[in-house]
Homo-oligomer: A and B are copies of this chain.
């Protein structure tokens, strides 16, 4: 019935250490413990872990997932709120895609120049030294 943490990890798709982390940051409630102190997860808690895991797969931040979980726990209807979070997140993903595509295009351009050019002069290094086509520099958020 109850699952140990490694079983919950396997069942939910969350890494074992990540589950402890989620507990530490309050995304997961402290689970019951066995007599010897091992965590014992009930099915509902494993489901909650899966909820988080799927949210992460869709790129939601932990804070977004925290909000979604609150709405989920709240029996009052809040479909509009959920929808708003999802749409905001989707817009953010599209921004990141655009940014990465901009990078890819620019990179393809300088690589193509380099491959076609003479070997004594690296156009890629030139591009980094000289050209400044790129505008926005919120690169950190572009990591998947």
Contacts and interface: CB of A to CB of B under 8 A. Distances in A.
Interface of A: 13, 47, 50-51, 53-59, 68, 71-72, 75, 77-80, 82-83, 86-87, 89-90, 93-97, 99-101, 103-104, 106-108, 110-111, 114-115, 119-122, 124-125, 127-129, 131-132, 134, 137, 139, 142-144
A128 B68 contact: yes
**Could you say how many copies of this chain the assembly holds?**
2
Given A82-B122, A119-B77, A125-B68, A54 B134 contact: yes
> Which of A111, A122, A128 is the most central at the interface, judged by chain B CB atoms within 10 Å of its CB?
A128
The 3 closest A-B pairs by CB, nearest first: A57-B134, A79-B122, A96-B144
A114 B79 CA distance: 8
A68 to B, nearest CB: 7
25 contacts: A13-B132, A53-B137, A54-B129, A57-B103, A57-B134, A57-B139, A59-B100, A59-B103, A59-B142, A68-B125, A75-B143, A77-B122, A78-B122, A79-B119, A79-B121, A83-B114, A83-B115, A86-B114, A87-B111, A89-B107, A93-B103, A96-B144, A97-B97, A97-B100, A97-B101
